Amino acid sequence: MPAHTRLRTPPSPLPCRWTPNASSNSLSVNRLLCFWVSSVESISRISLHSNGFRSFCHVRESQPTAYMDEAEEERTDFGKLKPKIEALGIDSDSCAPGQYDLLYCPKCKGGPSLNRSLSFHISPNWSYAIWRCFDLQCGWAGQVFADTNMDNPGNLRGKINSYRPLTVGSLRLEMLGDELLTFFSERMISKETLQRNNVMQVAGNQKVFAFTYRQNGMLVGCKYRTVEKKFWQRKNTEKMLYGLDDIAEAEEIIIVEGEMDKLSMEEAGYYNCVSVPSGAPQMVSLKELPSPEKDSCFQYLWNCKDYFDKASRIILATDGDIPGQALAEELARRLGRERCWRVRWPKKNEDSSFKDANEVLMNLGADALRDAINDAELFETQN
């Protein structure tokens, strides 16, 4: 069994990492969007269009064939989505399906710095488009679908109609106090790990702490928890994996079921780890996999698809209970069973095993947690 590659030192800080606070009122969008710029490929030209917004243009990979007449084209997803995009003030010819394009925002027109602050994405099959402006004074975001029925907010779970960049100040967060530091210490989580992962507390409340979700260093979501283990999440934010920046360049990725388990993995030396944001299903679905745009319960995987495309090995270290096993199965169905490995947690006694990474860390220590990861079994070989 090949040993899993351990990242003994934290990943290098991203060039656009930034921790917002209440006093911050400006940010270079060029730095904020450096990730998007690096992902743009096959740029064929920079053009000026009639709407006055410059944009990167790509060779289109998915569009109706040349012999299709106008009436037939209007019945395709391409024909249905294109006019909706144009109505937003976006030239659809400036966007390549399946990629994230950097455009001038038609709402703020690039802001005071005239930057390309709008990230615009069209699905490869032209079934939907999503966008977000990262200018701090704008924050325009939304989604539009070729299927008119999907444009009804009642048919779209988690739809984001408006967006304002989150800051530590707007969420009223502060550094962890002594009471919560003790709480984490009892669970074998160090102050250094908490600080690196920007775990904070609600201002003035030593009973509620916050797991801040970040992408490219930017605060994009927040999940709250009390010491009594009650959870809730910030509304109107995209579902994404916790610790996403730690797998930006990882060829091997560990997925756990909770933020506390992600922190526990770091205590054992594994930084290439992320947590799912919303727990596990009660059982494995017997239905066929839905299309990515309709797979609402696992949208956090599709939102981060580029991160997994480069991974050759994915270790599923979900909880050992029945829902945790169901989650591992659902993840493997979407990520590819042939590259997934499953962790079996060590025995607690003759009748039961430890439930998750934090239980193993607390009761057996970091060495036992490392052994469990190194002993992971190829998913396809398991019964």
Note the pLDDT tens digit of each residue in 245-303.
999 889 999 999 999 999 999 999 999 999 999 878 888 888 888 888 788 889 889 88
Residue 4 lies in a domain: no
pLDDT at 219: 87
Average pLDDT, the chain: 77
Same domain assignment for residues 365 and 236: yes
Domain range enclosing 98 = 29-155
3-state secondary structure of 66: coil
Q: Is residue 160 part of a domain?
A: no
Share of the chain above pLDDT 90, in %: 37
Tell me, what's the pLDDT at 254? 97
In a domain, residue 10? The reply is: no
Pair (190, 311) in one structural domain: yes
pLDDT at 23 over 50: no
Q: Which of 99, 121, 155 is the last residue of a domain?
A: 155
How many residues does this entry show for the chain?
A: 383
150 and 179 together in one domain? no
Average pLDDT over residues 101-105: 85
Residue 95 has pLDDT above 50, yes or no: yes
- Identify whether residues 218 and 356 lie together within a single domain: yes
In a shared domain, residues 272 and 366: yes
pLDDT the model gives residue 15: 37
Domain match, 119 and 241 both: no
Token pair 């992962």 in the structure block, residue: 197
Is position 22 within any domain?
Answer: no
In this predicted structure, the answer to whether residue 193 has a pLDDT above a threshold of 90 is yes
The domain boundary residue, chosen from 101, 125, 155 = 155
User: Same structural domain for residues 306 and 360?
Assistant: yes
The DSSP H or E segment spanning 356 is none
Yes or no: say if 73 and 83 are a contact pair by the CB < 8 Å rule. Answer: no
Taking alpha carbons only, the member of 222, 225, 223, 212 closest to residue 180 is 225
Residue 166 in any domain: the answer is: no
Q: For residue 131, how many C-alpha atoms fall within 13 Å in the half-sphere facing its CB?
A: 29
- Encode pLDDT of 122-178 as tens digits: 888 888 888 888 776 777 888 888 876 554 433 333 344 444 567 888 889 999 999
Which pLDDT value is given to residue 9? 57
Q: How many domains does the chain fold into? A: 2
pLDDT score recorded for residue 338: 92
CATH code where residue 236 lies: 3.40.1360.10
Count the alpha carbons within 13 Å of 209 in the hemisphere toward its beta carbon: 22
Whether the pTM exceeds 0.75: the reply is no
Both 213 and 101 in one domain: the answer is no
Share of the chain above pLDDT 70, in %: 74
Q: Does residue 17 sit within a domain?
A: no
At 381, is the pLDDT very low, low, confident or very high (cuts 50, 70, 90)? low
Domain boundary among 155, 187, 220: 155
Cα-based distances in Å from 276 to 10, 136, 164, 328, 345: 20, 27, 23, 11, 18
Same domain, 147 and 261: no
Query: Which CA distances in Å does 42 have to 78, 101, 150, 237, 305?
Result: 21, 11, 31, 31, 19
CA distances from 244 to 103, 241, 303, 315, 378 (A): 24, 6, 11, 15, 24
181 lies in the same domain as 91? no
338 lies in some domain: yes
Based on the fold, state whether residues 317 and 276 are members of the same structural domain.
yes
Q: What's the average model confidence in pLDDT over 63-74?
A: 51
Whether 202 is covered by a domain: the verdict is yes
> What does the pLDDT read at residue 51?
32
Whether 312 and 214 map to the same domain: the answer is yes
Tell me the range of 33-42, 65-74, 195-204 where mean pLDDT is highest. Answer: 195-204
